[in-house]
Chains A and B, each alone.
Chain A
């Protein structure tokens, strides 16, 4: 179990760095970064929804898929970059609690799943796109991929919002064993006997 142990050491080290302390204690920077993170939902997932709804055959069906992706995805990528930058800064400000958040962990899993889904789409589904590029209703594989994308990212929004709530925080014991295991809580004997 060197992986989780060294990750914990890393986040504990991160929490002690000057930048992290300055950020979490700042009156304006933290809320500004958090607001940017939330508002970027409109750019990142809004434009991704344009692409996914086109792939589902729900909207903009007269525009070829390749034209939608070529024009719209650069905005999605820009939004994603802004999300990652602001998200990393938010993690940097509150590293240990976020690392131990069950919601953050589920969010990361959902994001990895969304990434794999996008990678599969580009690798496999897109290969024969020339055949169905102009179809109003793309083939099942493309529609499944788009639906999966929308569902996973909706899950990312929900779990992301929940990180702010401390119901399952490690410092609120007793928690169910499953929570302590999944959140990687280090529970002391004193807390256990409470």
Chain B
């Protein structure tokens, strides 16, 4: 990490054509941001569908793995919309982001949340094909951890605009 000159990288990011077009337009930033917020609602739904199941609050008659399988394309589509809108927003104000603590908190939380979903939650629980195989305590912990991580990503994301 220390070998990378992040500030230089972010300065270069800001000089990209896309970043400049957004910065010079009055409408583009808020319009893309609106798409980012629609993605937030959608991502929230795809995460909560699984996590509320893990907490035993919804889809009780469905195996955890089945709920995960159904929610997976929705989750990736939401994440895709978040990246498709989030990256242009970043490019338009990359240097501001470099000096913004909330931005770095969000990025660390985002990497952690994605890693948690792909490397912990899905492999651990995605193979339970019957209701009997689910262990409530583990499910509960994983569901709460997942919701906490995504909430941190979203809260830090909103806070970029305040600081």
Q: Interface of A with B (CB < 8 Å)? A: 31, 34-35, 38-39, 41-50, 53, 59-60, 62-63, 67-68, 71-72, 75, 153-154, 157-158, 161-162, 164-165, 167
The contact string, 1 if C-beta is below 8 Å from chain A, for chain B 56-81, is 01111110001100110010000000
Q: Say whether B62 contacts A62, CB under 8 Å.
A: yes
- Determine the distance from Cα of A34 to Cα of B158 in the docked complex, in whole angstroms: 9
Q: Interface of B with A (CB < 8 Å)? A: 26, 30-31, 33-34, 37-38, 40-49, 52, 57-62, 66-67, 70-71, 74, 150-151, 154-155, 158-159, 162
- Determine the distance from Cα of A144 to Cα of B43 in the docked complex, in whole angstroms: 23
B58 and chain A: residue at smallest CB distance: A71
Given contacts A63-B59, A161-B30, contact A42 B154 (CB under 8 A): yes
- Determine the distance from Cα of A97 to Cα of B27 in the docked complex, in whole angstroms: 20
A-B contact pairs, 17 of them (CB 8 A): A35-B158, A38-B40, A39-B155, A41-B40, A42-B44, A42-B45, A43-B44, A46-B45, A50-B48, A53-B45, A59-B49, A60-B62, A62-B66, A71-B60, A157-B37, A157-B38, A161-B34
B74 and chain A: residue at smallest CB distance: A59
- Determine the distance from Cα of A38 to Cα of B153 in the docked complex, in whole angstroms: 12
Q: Say whether B162 contacts A165, CB under 8 Å.
A: no
Given contacts A59-B74, A60-B59, A75-B52, contact A45 B45 (CB under 8 A): yes
Given contacts A59-B70, A72-B58, A75-B48, contact A158 B34 (CB under 8 A): yes
Which residue of B37, B45, B61 is within 8 Å of A161 (Cβ)? B37
Q: Which residues of A contact B66 (CB under 8 A)?
A: 62
Q: Say whether B57 contacts A45, CB under 8 Å.
A: no
A51 and chain B: residue at smallest CB distance: B45
B35 and chain A: residue at smallest CB distance: A158
Q: Which residues of B contact A62 (CB under 8 A)?
A: 62, 66
Q: Say whether B47 contacts A46, CB under 8 Å.
A: yes
Q: Which residues of A contact B47 (CB under 8 A)?
A: 42, 46
Given contacts A41-B40, A59-B71, A63-B59, contact A161 B33 (CB under 8 A): yes
Q: Say whether B59 contacts A46, CB under 8 Å.
A: no
Q: Say whether A42 contacts B30, CB under 8 Å.
A: no
Q: Say whether B61 contacts A63, CB under 8 Å.
A: yes
B128 CB to nearest A CB, Å: 16
- Determine the distance from Cα of A75 to Cα of B58 in the docked complex, in whole angstroms: 10
Which residue of B30, B49, B155 is within 8 Å of A35 (Cβ)? B155
Q: Say whether A42 contacts B40, CB under 8 Å.
A: yes
Q: Which residues of A contact B61 (CB under 8 A)?
A: 63, 67
Which residue of B41, B48, B155 is within 8 Å of A157 (Cβ)? B41
Which residue of B34, B70, B154, B162 is within 8 Å of A60 (Cβ)? B70
Q: Say whether A41 contacts B58, CB under 8 Å.
A: no
Q: Say whether B37 contacts A53, CB under 8 Å.
A: no
- Determine the distance from Cα of A35 to Cα of B52 in the docked complex, in whole angstroms: 22
B154 CB to nearest A CB, Å: 5
Q: Which residues of B contact A34 (CB under 8 A)?
A: 158
A155 CB to nearest B CB, Å: 10
Q: Which residues of A contact B52 (CB under 8 A)?
A: 47, 72, 75
A26 CB to nearest B CB, Å: 13
- Determine the distance from Cα of A43 to Cα of B67 in the docked complex, in whole angstroms: 18
Q: Say whether A39 contacts B34, CB under 8 Å.
A: no
A165 CB to nearest B CB, Å: 6
